[in-house]
Amino acid sequence: MVNLTEHKFFTESDKLALGWFWRNYLKSKMIWLFLILGMTAAQGYVYREFLKLTESGMRIVFERGTLQDLFEICAMVTGIFLFRGVVSYLTPRIATWIANDAVQRMRDDMVAKYLSLDLAHFDKAKSGDVILRLVQQADGLSSFVGQQTVKALRDAATILILSTYLIYKEPFLFAGVVFVVPFVLFGLRRVSKRIKEIQQSAEAVMGDFINGIEEMTNGMRTIRISGQEEMEKRRLATSTKGIRTLNIRLQAAQALSLPWMDFAAAVAFSMVIGGGGYMVLSPEYETDGASIIAFLIGLVLVFDPARRASSYFVALQAALILFRSIHTLMLETPEIVDTPNSVAELDGEGDIVFRDVSFSYETNHPLLHNLNLVFRGGRTTAIVGSTGSGKTTILSLLARLYEPQSGEITFDGRPLCEYKLETLRGIYSVVSQDIVIFNRSIFDNVKYVKPEASDQEVFDAAEAADILSLMEERGSAPVGPKGAQLSGGQKQRIGIARAFLQNKPVVILDEATSALDQKTEDRIRGAMEGLMKGRTSIVIAHRLSTVTQADLIYVLEHGKLIEQGNHSQLLAQKGLYASMYNAQQQGYQK
Ligand SMILES: Nc1ncnc2c1ncn2[C@@H]1O[C@H](COP(=O)(O)OP(=O)(O)O)[C@@H](O)[C@H]1O
Ligand SMILES: [Mg+2]
């Protein structure tokens, strides 16, 4: 006897993933599922009746009964198969509805999950994997649950009902046939392990491929300018080749289940013809020809669904990989969340204080060291420093996109983590270094941050950010994916217009004017000052001319605070700030 325990068909995590899917997406449709079960049983039942009718029909022929009887049987056979036809039409319709409904809810949950995970998750996650899960794996599960599984249920019902009938009719013959079952299981077990392995690699390769496509489309400009088309082709060809190879291997492995079934069928059929024939010929048994023929037809009717069930079993092994992949995602939990007693009140006019804050993205690469900073309410504070010194990171900590490893950040005297995230993030308008532009009109792009704003508000904001004339010129024309049809300076002005529209108590400008030419910057300087006036403002810049008016300037180097003071104090200190400032002044005068 084969030892079936050494390789498990279902691992522990398979079971958890299946249980999760069942509880969340199928259980509520229990009544419909019972209906489907009933309908699949009805289909099996039709086969059984067919067998019975065939046997009686043949007996009429063998024993020279009336034509009238024969006709009745034919009519009944037609009738039950018509019934089966109707049921076969209804079952997949209900099943597809259940499956698509389940997968839609699952997809929505996945989207919600992605939107809830910490930003740190996306520093490492490949976007290809995100798309793969949401698009392809979810789709795969939909057809697996809605089509393959339901067909398999029908097959299982048929096998069960017919086998019971065959056992009842010819227990001896059936006992002989059962001998092939362990043989089939042995074959399937070997196949299932391979399928899981191949499917796992196929998912990884597909994820890489989607990632590659995304990078290619996003990087089209760079690829063309630097003439890297051939390199891109080769890079993506690695994925396409991988997908081809793995798909062929997967199909080959899946097909491997069929020879086992066919060989088992051959053994079973010859046993019935041989054994059954002997029983008919031998006077010891009462079996007649009609019952053996009916048994043989019954066996054919069992083997056909059994063959399909074995393919289903193989498909299940592949689907388990998808179930697990999605379940793994759903098990992830964000660390930055609201605490039970977090408060929703925050007026946004208080001081923001960093006390001994240390932070690193990777555990062994410390970035910010014991920072002590104060951003006074209603004042303008600037942070300057070379690129990579950690300026943007400070802003990420302010919005609690990341959590410091040690030290404390307080807003109005209360640690950030005691405010509701929604409240906290609702305090800031941020004009960041890389402004996200959608493929819509400029008007819609500005309005994006405040959908409830009136048209007039949007126009005013656009005017303040010096983008109104362009907005009117382009009208409703979309600006291309990621604003491809706009210049860097135009995108920044959209970002600034958004900040005007948002009108939040704290304004954060992260290199907000770095892509503007001096003339445009001078033109909107007044507007920018208007934006910051009376608000707590944090300005980050490496072009120091933009921060000279700040009440306090922090100079950051390699995550450490090295100087602080206002413009004239810092110049008098003759430190890093003074030398940077003088160097830049000379640069502009050239
Ligand atoms: N999400 C991230 N994961 C890992 N490292 C990061 C991440 N973001 C930034 N860094 C690193 O942290 C350092 C500071 O980045 P950043 O705060 O953006 O600098 P700045 O805004 O001063 O130019 C850089 O060395 C950068 O490579
Ligand atoms: Mg930065």
What is the DSSP track for 360-393? -SBTTB--EEEEEEEE-TTSEEEEEE-TTSSHHH
Cα separation, 505 vs 19, in Å, equals 47
Token representation of residue 134 = 């949401």
Give the residue ranges of DSSP H helices in 256-288: 257-281
User: Do 323 and 381 share a domain, yes or no?
Assistant: no
Q: What is the mean pLDDT of residues 251-279?
A: 86
| Closest alpha carbon to 514 in 587, 399, 435, 577 | 435
Residue with tokens 């839609």: 104
* Chosen domain end from 331, 366, 393: 331
7 is a domain residue: no
User: Do 360 and 325 share a domain, yes or no?
Assistant: no
| Closest alpha carbon to 440 in 472, 483, 471 | 483
Q: What is the mean pLDDT of residues 332-346?
A: 90
User: Do 301 and 367 share a domain, yes or no?
Assistant: no
User: Do 174 and 238 share a domain, yes or no?
Assistant: yes
pLDDT band at residue 3 using 50, 70 and 90 as cut-offs: very low
For the cut 50, the answer to whether the pLDDT of residue 133 exceeds it is: yes
User: Do 291 and 368 share a domain, yes or no?
Assistant: no
Q: How many angstroms is it from 540 CA to the middle of ligand 2?
A: 8
Q: Identify which of 361, 395, 509, 540 to mutate to test ligand 1's pocket (most ligand atoms within 8 A of the CB).
A: 361
Q: Is the CB of 559 under 6 A from ligand 1?
A: no
User: Do 363 and 264 share a domain, yes or no?
Assistant: no
Residue with tokens 């960093």: 354
- So what's the pLDDT on residue 2? 41
Give the residue ranges of DSSP H helices in 465-538: 468-474, 488-502, 518-532
CB 87 within 8 A of CB 42: yes
Question: Which ligand is in closest contact with the Cα of 555?
Answer: 1
Q: Identify which of 393, 398, 558 to mutate to test ligand 1's pocket (most ligand atoms within 8 A of the CB).
A: 393
342 is a domain residue: no
User: For the segment 456-515, what is each residue's pLDDT rounded down to a tens digit?
Assistant: 999 999 999 889 999 999 999 999 988 889 988 889 899 999 999 998 999 999 988 887
Q: How many angstroms is it from 68 CA to the middle of ligand 1?
A: 89
**Sign of the torsion angle spanned by Cα atoms 486, 489, 495, 501:** negative
pLDDT band at residue 543 using 50, 70 and 90 as cut-offs: confident
500 is a domain residue: yes
Least confident of 128-132, 222-226, 530-534: 530-534
Question: Residues near 583 by Cβ (< 8 Å), separated by ≥ 6?
Answer: none
6 is a domain residue: no
353 membership: H or E segment, kind and range? strand 352-359
Q: What is the mean pLDDT of residues 568-586?
A: 89
- So what's the pLDDT on residue 131? 92
User: Do 406 and 451 share a domain, yes or no?
Assistant: yes
Which ligand 1 atom is the nearest neighbour of the CA of 394?
17
Q: What is the mean pLDDT of residues 139-159?
A: 91
Question: Residues near 555 by Cβ (< 8 Å), separated by ≥ 6?
Answer: 384, 385, 561, 562, 563, 564, 570, 575, 576, 577
Cα separation, 289 vs 170, in Å, equals 13
CB 497 within 8 A of CB 461: yes
Q: In total, how many domains does the chain have?
A: 2
Q: How many angstroms is it from 361 CA to the middle of ligand 1?
A: 8
Burial class (CB in 10 A: 0-12, 13-18, 19+), 237: exposed
Q: How many angstroms is it from 90 CA to the middle of ligand 2?
A: 59
For the cut 90, the answer to whether the pLDDT of residue 544 exceeds it is: no
Q: Is the CB of 391 under 6 A from ligand 1?
A: yes
**Which residue range forms the structural domain that includes residue 538?**
352-589
Reduced to 3 DSSP states, what percent helix, strand and coil does the chain have, rounded to the nearest 5?
A: 65, 10, 25
Q: Is the CB of 390 under 6 A from ligand 1?
A: yes
Q: How many CB atoms lie within 10 A of CB 97?
A: 13
Name the residue at shortest CA distance from atom 10 of ligand 1: 361
CB 90 within 8 A of CB 40: no
Q: Is the CB of 341 under 6 A from ligand 1?
A: no
Token representation of residue 38 = 């009933």
Residue with tokens 């007044």: 526
Cα separation, 257 vs 261, in Å, equals 7
Q: How many angstroms is it from 359 CA to the middle of ligand 1?
A: 11
User: Do 242 and 323 share a domain, yes or no?
Assistant: yes
For residues 69 and 564, the model is more confident at 564
323 is a domain residue: yes
User: Do 98 and 133 share a domain, yes or no?
Assistant: yes
- CA angle in degrees (0–180, nearest 5) for 492-493-494: 90
**From the centroid of its chain, how far is CA 501?**
33
Token representation of residue 590 = 């050239």
CB 373 within 8 A of CB 390: no
Q: Is the CB of 434 under 6 A from ligand 1?
A: no
CB 105 within 8 A of CB 25: yes
For the cut 60, the answer to whether the pLDDT of residue 400 exceeds it is: yes
Q: How many CB atoms lie within 10 A of CB 259?
A: 10
Q: Is the CB of 510 under 6 A from ligand 1?
A: no
Q: What is the mean pLDDT of residues 415-436?
A: 90
For the cut 50, the answer to whether the pLDDT of residue 4 exceeds it is: no
372 is a domain residue: yes
**CATH number assigned to the domain comprising residue 377:** 3.40.50.300
Name the residue at shortest CA distance from atom 26 of ligand 1: 388
Q: Is the CB of 398 under 6 A from ligand 1?
A: no
Which ligand 1 atom is the nearest neighbour of the CA of 510?
21
Q: Is the CB of 367 under 6 A from ligand 1?
A: yes
For residues 158 and 286, the model is more confident at 158
User: For the segment 276-326, what is each residue's pLDDT rounded down to a tens digit?
Assistant: 888 888 888 877 888 888 888 888 888 888 888 888 988 899 999 999 999
Q: What is the mean pLDDT of residues 6-14?
A: 79
**CATH number assigned to the domain comprising residue 91:** 1.20.1560.10
CB 153 within 8 A of CB 164: no
What is the DSSP track for 130-196? HHIIIIIIHHHHHHIIIIIHHHHHHHHHHHHHHHHHHHHH-HHHHHHHHTTHHHHHHHHHHHHHHHH
User: Do 136 and 231 share a domain, yes or no?
Assistant: yes
314 is a domain residue: yes
- So what's the pLDDT on residue 182? 85
Q: How many angstroms is it from 432 CA to the middle of ligand 2?
A: 8
Our separate counts of H helices and E strands in the chain read 22, 10
Which ligand 1 atom is the nearest neighbour of the CA of 393?
17
| Closest alpha carbon to 198 in 317, 46, 291 | 317
Q: Beta partners for 553?
A: 382, 565
Cα separation, 352 vs 373, in Å, equals 8
Which ligand 1 atom is the nearest neighbour of the CA of 540?
21
- So what's the pLDDT on residue 588? 57
Question: Which ligand is in closest contact with the Cα of 511?
Answer: 2
What rounded mean pLDDT belongs to the chain?
90
In the chain the first and final C-alpha atoms are separated, in Å, by 90
Residue 483: what residue type?
Answer: G
Q: Is the CB of 537 under 6 A from ligand 1?
A: no
User: Do 209 and 81 share a domain, yes or no?
Assistant: yes
Q: Is the CB of 433 under 6 A from ligand 1?
A: no
Q: Is the CB of 505 under 6 A from ligand 1?
A: no
- So what's the pLDDT on residue 590? 46
* Chosen domain end from 331, 365, 387: 331
The per-residue b/e assignment along 140-150, b for 16 or more CB within 10 angstroms, e otherwise, is: bbbbbbbebbb
For the cut 70, the answer to whether the pLDDT of residue 1 exceeds it is: no
Cα separation, 290 vs 125, in Å, equals 65
3 is a domain residue: no
For the cut 60, the answer to whether the pLDDT of residue 5 exceeds it is: no
User: Do 452 and 325 share a domain, yes or no?
Assistant: no
Name the residue at shortest CA distance from atom 4 of ligand 1: 361
Q: How many angstroms is it from 56 CA to the middle of ligand 2?
A: 86
Q: How many angstroms is it from 360 CA to the middle of ligand 1?
A: 9
Question: Which ligand is in closest contact with the Cα of 510?
Answer: 2
Q: How many angstroms is it from 408 CA to the middle of ligand 1?
A: 20
Question: Which ligand is in closest contact with the Cα of 363?
Answer: 1
